[in-house]
Amino acid sequence: MLLEINDLKVTYGGAIALNGVSLNIERGEAVGLVGSNGAGKTSLFKAISGIVPAEGSITFDNKDLLALKAHEVPSLGLAHVPEGRRLFPRLSIEDNLLLGGSSTHVVDQSDFDRVYKLFPKLLERKTQLAGTLSGGEQQMAAIGRALMSRPEILMLDEPSLGIAPVLVEGIYKAIAQLRDEGQTILLAEQNVMECLEVCNRTYVLQTGQVVTSGPSDELAENDEIRKAFLGI
Amino acid sequence: MNLLRVEGITKYFGGLAANKDITFEVEEGELLGVIGPNGAGKTTLFEQISGFKKPSEGRVILDGKDITAQRPDKICSAGLARTFQIVKTFPELTVLENVMIGSFHRESSSRAARKYAGEVLERVRFSHKADALGKELTLAGRKRVEVARAVATRPRILLLDEAMAGLNKQESAEAVEVVRDLRKEVTVVMIEHVMEILMPLSDRIVVLVEGQKLLEGTPEEIASNPQVLAAYLGERFAARNK
Amino acid sequence: MNVNGLPQGSSVWGMVRQYLPWVLFLGFFALYPIVFDSPSDHTLGIKMMWFAIAATGWNMLGGFAGQISLGHATFFGVGAYAVALADEYEWNPWLAMILGMGVAAIIAVIIGWPVFRLKGHYFTIATIGTGEIAFLLVRNSEFLGGTEGFLMRSDEGFLNFYWGGRQKWEFYYLGFVLLLLAVVSTVMISKSRMGYYLQAIRNNQEAASSLGVPIAKYKQLAFIYSAVFVSIAGSYFAQQLQFAGPDEAFSLDTSIRITIIAVIGGVLSKWGPMIGAIVFLFLSEWTNIRFGGNGFDLVIFGFIVMVMAAFEPNGLIGLGNRFAHLLEKAKS
């Protein structure tokens, strides 16, 4: 097991965000996480990345993540692409990518090649400042930056948020391609179909708890997901 | 006749419309749920109804009287009370004193205000915490105090802004019971993210998406509506479930 | 009322808690001139009285309602000048004091009306401005004695607000009665709707207004109350000194002293201003003897206020309560 989460609890000043979530990911798997606003997707990501304190256990590659500090997590091979992307707006795409890899290893041309092959658009615009990109292009750059660290696991938080439908399609093609290359992926989404199609397995989160999980194609067939989102 | 009528409420922040032409009515005795994804403009709508923000356009009519953009304390006098999404318990006052601030609205003597506050705490099942300070409470406790305080002003209509968010299962079950009790005596409009709670509780639901009213209807109508499905689960999921 | 943040128990300990401050403070102030019976002690005691009255008045607005004013010298000055003018034109000083209270109230309304419609720290900034304006107006007004102010020649006697003269225990007790008046009315207000509303305003204005509290009106009431009692302190001050001048009565320095006394004692308690007055007086006498009367005491007090703000916003009363909590914990 590459990532194993057991009975995870996260609270913010008394407000419960996660209430006993368990989840695991095998190497090479693409795992989805769907749930409406406030279900706890982002909190789970933040807990894995060590940005918020949590109770329970998170084991990554046999290491106890909760015992580590936030800045120690990326070098283990977890790359988190946060909601809203958070690029360095005044740096070029190329420099943003470079920064993504340089904290973990010496970046070489093959790292850039992998990203540019995945998103040819980034190659065309590599000297452009990140802040001047469209939302979809920024998302590509953010995913690219995360890939530069050669992550064991790529964590994507709502990559379709605020992006035009045409570009969403492009981003999901790239995610599928990464999956096919054997990249381990944890994907949080509100757009349920996109998530079910790209992920092998999916967990459904509702008010801080996993209400159901299973192979994505099976989940697509039953009504659980709709219930989780809309209550009835 | 309806108790509350929201008429063409529109709110611009700079050039951005947080609410666009929202119209709906609340009948006396009803429990109306307001749902919508993050950023749909639910809280902004409450802020305008309760007088904390001035609508750019539109009117708020309470029991036939225009209360648009009146001061919050005047709106409270007119019979509308609210709670806050980000709780605003008085930290240095005890629970009983928190509720007294509400009951003083209709009682001028401290003795009467204290007595009524005690009764309200009884009703919302929180008497056992009467002497605790606001700052000592858990989130669930703070939310309960907010409800009690608002009820103590003896409103005809109560606006609850996410009174259950962030609570654990048991806490929110208790809060649901409290709301079930209260709604027997007062009209309730509630914003809630937790659908499994709101859906069974509501008589009717208004759905806001991107600042606009998408539709209103019974919980069953809402849960099977393709537009709602699209807003919550994505266009493609909704299309497939048609 | 639970201004100290301590639940009141019905136990003996709770009773002691409730009444001990009354016994301690009033006992101390009542016995002071008997225990310390030299004229210079009495002068000190009289000073302590007007500090305590002024800070108690200031505290209704600054403590209960949480609206920090740095312009209360204006009201102090109004009280002082009211009796000084009475002396000049041979009116009765008591009546002048009452007239001064009325003028202070009117000025509070004129300042408060526009300012309380603003949010945030505008009130504090505005009061610095209004304080300075009043100071300059008085200094430049010939009718009000210009930069010189007024020297007074009161005749001794209760009716002349000069009972026993400036260094006598009788005059001290006049002040004690005025202080009692301030404390008792503060206690009564704190137990009334107004007291609760002011605390709600200090705690959270938005929540208060959602519960039907007319914010501006209650701030205004607190402002009037505090202006009135600070003006009483000003009248008492001028009667003792037999002098009223702009630098002594109307300056920012005076405003800051009043504020510091309340803050040191602890703004959330009705007893805070009195503790503040006692501590302020003795520390400032001590520094004046040790370092000369060059305002060095304010340096020390500035430092104390900074430390208080950082560690115990509720002042010495807050420290005392913490200590009591520890004691209780140790007991159980």
Note the ipTM here.
0.93
Q: Is the pLDDT of residue C114 over 80?
A: yes
State the smallest CA–CA distance between residue B82 and chain C in angstroms: 7
Choose among C326, C324, C330: nearest CA to C14. C324
Residue written as tokens 């003597």? B109
Whether B113 has its CB under 8 Å from any CB of chain C: the answer is yes
Residue of chain B whose alpha carbon sits nearest to that of A12: B166
Question: For B77-109, what is each residue's pLDDT tens digit?
Answer: 999 999 999 999 999 999 999 999 999 999 999
**Alpha-carbon dihedral angle through residues C306, C308, C312, C318, given to the nearest 10 degrees:** -160
Q: How confident is the model at residue C7 (pLDDT cuts 50, 70, 90)?
A: very low
Q: Give the span between the Cα atoms of A204 and A188, in whole angstroms.
A: 10
Interface contact C117, partner B, CB < 8 A: no
Query: Would you say residue B74 has pLDDT above 90?
Result: yes
Chains B, A in contact, 3 or more Cβ pairs below 8 Å: yes
Q: Can you give the pLDDT at residue A102?
A: 81
Interface of A with B in 60-89 (CB under 8 A): none
C144 is a domain residue: yes
The chains in contact with chain B, meaning 3 or more Cβ pairs closer than 8 Å, are: A, C
Of A15, A36, A189, the CB nearest to B139: A15
Give dist(CA B1, CA A226) in Å, integer.
36
B73, B94, B97 ranked by CB distance to C213: nearest: B73
- The verdict on residue C5 lying in a domain is no
Return the percent helix, strand and coil in chain A, to nearest 5.
40, 30, 30
Q: A62 burial class (0-12, 13-18, 19+ CB within 10 angstroms)? A: exposed
Q: Are B117 and B99 in contact (CB under 8 A)?
A: yes
Q: If you count residue pairs, one on B and one on C, with CB atoms under 8 Å apart, how many are there?
A: 89
Query: How many domains is chain C built from?
Result: 1
Asked if B139 and A14 come within 8 Å (Cβ–Cβ), the reply is yes
pLDDT at A210: 93
B92 occurs within a structural domain = yes
pLDDT in tens, A21-37: 999 999 999 999 998 87
Q: Is residue C5's pLDDT more than 60?
A: no
Contacts of A14 in chain B (CB under 8 A): 138-140, 142, 166
Is A166 at the interface with chain B, CB within 8 A?
A: no
Candidate from A52-56, A62-66, B4-8, C312-316 with smallest mean pLDDT: C312-316
C240-295 pLDDT, tens digit each: 999 999 998 999 989 988 988 888 887 777 788 888 888 888 887 777 777 776 67
pLDDT tens, B13-26? 988 899 999 999 99
**Shortest distance, CA B107 to any CA of chain A (angstroms):** 33
Residue-range definition of the domain harbouring residue C71: 38-331
Is B48's pLDDT higher than 60? yes
| pLDDT 10s digits, C76-96 | 999 999 999 999 998 999 999
Is residue B152 one of the residues assigned to a domain?
A: yes
Q: With an 8 Å Cβ cutoff, is A226 touching chain B?
A: yes
Min Cα separation B3/chain C (Å): 19
CA distances from C272 to C56, C75, C183, C304, C314 (A): 8, 21, 11, 15, 8
Number of domain units in chain B? 1
Between positions 268 and 287 of C, the ones with CB within 8 A of B are 268
Confirm whether C274 is domain-assigned.
yes
> Residues in chain A with pLDDT < 70?
none
Please indicate whether, in this complex, the C-beta atoms of B194 and A230 are within 8 angstroms of each other.
Answer: no
Q: Quick check: is B12 in a domain? A: no
Report the neighbours of A using a cutoff of 3 or more CB pairs below 8 angstroms. B
Q: Is the pLDDT of residue C226 over 70?
A: yes
Please tell me the distance from the alpha carbon of residue A209 to that of residue A193, in angstroms, as a whole number: 21
Q: Best mutation site among A7, A16, A197, A202 for testing chain B: the one with the most B CBs within 10 Å?
A: A16
Q: Which chain C residue's Cα is nearest to B111?
A: C192
Average pLDDT over residues B119-142: 95
Chain B CB contacts of A38 below 8 Å: 38, 165, 193-194
Return the higher-pLDDT residue of B54 and C315: B54
Bridge partners, residue A215, by sequence: A201
- The answer to whether chain C touches chain A by having 3 or more C-beta pairs less than 8 angstroms apart is no
Chain B residue with CA closest to A11: the answer is B166
In a domain, C325, yes or no: yes
Given an 8 Å threshold on Cβ–Cβ distance, is B73 in contact with C193?
no
| Span B138-150, average pLDDT | 96
Q: Do the Cβ atoms of A16 and B166 come within 8 Å?
A: yes
C1, part of any domain? no
The alpha carbon of residue C201 and the mean position of all alpha carbons in its chain are separated, in whole angstroms, by 20
B187-198 pLDDT tens trace:
999 999 888 889
* Facing residue for A230 by CB, picked from B167, B195, B234: B195
Residue C326 has a pLDDT of 80
* Residues of chain C contacting residue B89, judged by C-beta atoms under 8 Å apart: 204, 207
Which residue in chain B has the smallest CA separation from A169? Answer: B236
Residue C240, domain CATH: 1.10.3470
C160 falls within a domain: yes
C22 domain residue, yes or no:
no
| CATH number of B127's domain | 3.40.50.300
What domain range includes position B90?
A: 29-240
* Beta-carbon separation of B88 and C214 below 8 A: no
Question: Of A12-26, B207-221, C154-168, which range is least confident?
Answer: C154-168
Q: Provide, rounded to the nearest whole percent, the portion of chain C with pLDDT above 90.
A: 47
> Taking 50 as the threshold, does the pLDDT of residue B112 lie above it?
yes
Percent of chain B whose predicted confidence (pLDDT) is above 70? 99
From the CA of B46, how many Å to the nearest CA of chain C? 12
For residue C120, the model assigns a pLDDT of 63
Query: From the list C2, C210, C214, which residue is nearest B94 (CB)?
Result: C2
Share the mean pLDDT of chain C. 86
The verdict on residue C289 lying in a domain is yes
Residue that has been written with the tokens 């090649």 in this structure: A113
Q: Which 43-102 residues of chain B touch chain C by CB within 8 A?
A: 50, 52, 71-73, 76-77, 81-82, 84, 88-94, 97, 100-102
pLDDT beyond 50 at C4: no
Helix then strand then coil, % of chain B, to nearest 5: 40, 25, 35
* d(C-alpha A81, C-alpha A147), whole Å: 10
- Confirm if B18 and B61 have CB atoms less than 8 A apart: no
